[in-house]
Structures are given as C-alpha cells and as structure tokens.
Amino acid sequence: MSDLAKNSNLHIDGAALWADLMETAQFGGTEKGGVRRLTLTKEDKLVRDWFMRTCQSLGCEVSYDSMGNLFARRPGQDNNLPPITMGSHLDTQPTGGKFDGILGVLGGLAVLRTLHQSGYATRHPIELISWTNEEGSRFSPPMMCSGVFAGIFTEAEVLEKRDRAGIRFGDELDAIGYRGEEVCGQHPISAYFELHIEQGPILEAEDKTIGIVTGIQGARWYEVTVRGKDAHAGSTPMTLRHDALVATAGMIEAVSKVAKAHGPSAVGTVGLIENRPNSSNVVPGEVFFTVDIRDPDDAVVLRMEKELKTLMEKIALDNQVTVEIVQIWDAPAVHFDPACIGMVEQTTQEKGYSARRIVSGPGHDAGYLAHVAPTAMIFVPCKDGLSHNEEESILEGDAEKGANVLLGAILKADTELNLK
C-alpha cells in the first residue's frame, strides 16, 4: 500500500491522549481540579522535563531555542525541507485549566505517537513546538516567545521583562535550565497548525465538534483618564460639579452601545476602573479606566474607535470634565492561510465531523506564526465556553477528534507543500 493510501487509515489513540492530559495536569494541579503552572516556575520545568522525555521515547530529537521554546522533531524522508509544525503552550493562568494550550501540545504529541507507532514515513520532518509564556500572566505581554520567533519582539527586550516580584525573565529561564543555543527565530518552518479549545460558547451552542479557524479578530486597547474636580458631596450644587465618575458612567455605556451597533461580531469592554479619591462624601475628581474593542475586520475596529472618541469627548464636555484617551495596544486582525484552512476543512469532511468556520476571539501563538509561515488553527468546544478557569472542561471524544483533524491536516500539508 502506498503511504498516501495508508494515511487515511491513521488515527489518534484517544485514550493515550487523555491519559497525557490527566498526567500533565498533576504538574501544578490545584485542589479544584485546575492547573497553576506559571511560566518559568518549577512546575513549568517539571512539565518541560516530561515533554522532553516523552517525545524522546517516541523517537523524536528534542531541543530548545534561546527563548526556551521546545522543539520535538521526527525526521522525514527529505530532511532538507523545513518541517511541518504544530504546537501550542504548556503554561497556564494562575487559576487555569487542564486544556488551554495543553491540548494543542499533547494533541501534537498524539500525532507524533501515531506516526511513530505506524512507522509512517513523511516527506517533511514533523515538529511539535511548545511556546514559552503564551499566557503573559507572570511576565507580560502574552504570546511573548512566539512573538520573538516571528520577529514581533526582540530577544533582548523579552529577557529584561520582570514579574511583579521584580525577577528577570532571563534569570528564570537560566534557573530552570531551558535557555538553548539556537537563536530564537532561526528555525525555518513550512507550515504551522495549532489545535486549541475554543474558549467561547459558539461550537457548543451550535452542537459542532470542530471549529475551522479562519483568523483572529483585531483588537485595540486604550487607557482613559477622565479629570474633573474633587469637591464636597454636601456643599457642591449639582450644576457646579465636575464629576469625573458621572462622565465615566456615560462613557462606559457608550462603549457598549458602539459595540452593539457594529454587531454581531464586534465587542467592547470596560474591565478595569479606578475611581479617585473613592470616598463616599467626595465628588470624584478623577477616573481611570481601560477600553478593549475587537472585531474580525480592522476597518470596523477603526470606525468604532472614531465613534467612541467623538462620543467620549462630547460626554466630557457635557459634564465639564476633560478626557484623555491613550491607545496602548493595537493587534490587527490575522487572516490564516487559505490553503492551510482548506486542509483543516477537508479533513473534517473526510472524517465526517460536524464543523463550522469560526474567527478566534482570543489571541494565540498561531497569530504571530502567521507572520512567518502558512498557518491555520483547529478549535474544539469547551463546556459552557469556560476557560482561564479551574473548571475548564472538554469531552474526551472531542479531544480525540480535534487531534485527528490535526493529524489529517499535517499529512495533507506534507503531501501538498514544497512540491518541486
């Protein structure tokens, strides 16, 4: 039988994948059944050691680059070809779950296991990557080391990042022994596929097993300071107030209204607010808050920004206060590679899995990888759309199906890419 005919018979060992998910959940496992595995801590080292050992036992060569990104390489027939890659992250939020990121790494491991046990020979080397510090919880920003890999951040700036205790990223990377010789980013790849939980409610609500992810929506963040005047709550008439909080209330409502007006895909959030002096008998003199707006279409994000600025300035004027709006983050929308999206979609059809195209709300390592290689993502549902939560949960069958789609997409990429 030719390898091509044989590859449709290959499938993931779902029980082994689930066992891996449960085993790694012990590294930083919490009482509530979640995982606390912050970047470059001893729990992070433990799961890395496990990853290296397990990949070696499946016949892979393992290595790590100067940012501590882990690579497990299964050689192909033509090792001059850049590898077809897959991956995600093994770090978690402080009260995270067992699946966010981890499913993508262990799903990739399940692909390697299938290839190893069947003795299937790919043309390209196949590599599994675990990216350092996707969550950005201990060291900000998120997706830090896939960002260095893709040339978004420099290695020097990332090494200097400090956690809230003042501990340097570079020192912690040395301390756990995972700073490699290979310069981060000096690692050509042919394609990248990432399996991930949806972290939202859409697949579950529509009773679909697979999300064929076409891209990641664009996002902009702002810091807003509204300045009025502190005054006595008893003696200052309403007409003479410069109440920063009343003005802010109108602005928060405006964020919600503008997002709804651009619905259903647009979202707008005020999630952090500081009221000063925050005293019950003082008219608030200053308020600081953040705004997060997102949409799959960058033009919509831009329109929302314009409308919001106009509205906020008018609200400030009406309330005799001033408003200062500073943009602190701009992440343009990511559009994944049509050919790679097609490989994912075709696999779902061949397997007979229910599926829909979907745009990711959260950012992912794949968003940065799309800058340097053809990229696509695969989503599986998570219960109640819950993520970044110790109760995060998925179905064993969905994990297996998601990894089967990853396997199918990798094998398609292997036969379809880099043809002479």
Q: Which two tokens stand for residue 405?
A: 């789609």
Residue closer to Zn ion by CB (options 97, 374) is: 97
Among all residues, whose Cβ is closest to Zn ion?
Answer: 101
* Shortest distance in whole angstroms from residue 280 CB to Zn ion: 41
List the beta strands (DSSP E) in 5-121.
Answer: 61-64, 70-74, 84-89
CA distance 393 to 387: 8
At 145, the amino acid letter reads C
Handedness of CA 100, 102, 108, 114 (dihedral sign): negative
Q: Which two tokens stand for residue 181?
A: 């010789």
Residue closer to Zn ion by CB (options 319, 360) is: 360
Query: What is the binding site for Zn ion (CB under 5 A)?
Result: 100-101
Angle between helical axes of 42-57 and 102-118 (0-180°, round to 10)? 20
Residue closer to Zn ion by CB (options 128, 255) is: 128
* Shortest distance in whole angstroms from residue 225 CB to Zn ion: 32
* Shortest distance in whole angstroms from residue 405 CB to Zn ion: 17
CA distance 299 to 332: 10
- Cβ-based neighbours of 115, under 8 Å, separated by 6 or more: 10, 74, 122, 126
* Shortest distance in whole angstroms from residue 379 CB to Zn ion: 11
* Shortest distance in whole angstroms from residue 191 CB to Zn ion: 20
Q: Are 198 and 380 in contact (CB under 8 A)?
A: yes
Peptide bond into 75 cis (omega under 30): no
Residue closer to Zn ion by CB (options 100, 204) is: 100
Instruction: Give, as one character, the DSSP assignment of residue 122.
Output: P
Residue closer to Zn ion by CB (options 101, 284) is: 101
Residue closer to Zn ion by CB (options 96, 170) is: 96
How many Cβ atoms from other residues are within 10 Å of residue 260's Cβ?
Answer: 12
Q: Are 122 and 75 in contact (CB under 8 A)?
A: no
392-407 burial, b at 16+ Cβ within 10 Å, e below that, comes to: bbbeeebbbbbbbbbb
* Shortest distance in whole angstroms from residue 384 CB to Zn ion: 17
Residue closer to Zn ion by CB (options 101, 367) is: 101
Residue closer to Zn ion by CB (options 100, 305) is: 100
* Shortest distance in whole angstroms from residue 382 CB to Zn ion: 11
Residue closer to Zn ion by CB (options 100, 392) is: 100
- Cβ-based neighbours of 375, under 8 Å, separated by 6 or more: 191, 192, 193, 194, 336, 337, 340, 366, 369
* Shortest distance in whole angstroms from residue 196 CB to Zn ion: 6
Classify the phi-psi angles of 325: left when phi > 0, otherwise alpha if psi is within -120 to 50, otherwise beta. beta
* Shortest distance in whole angstroms from residue 214 CB to Zn ion: 18
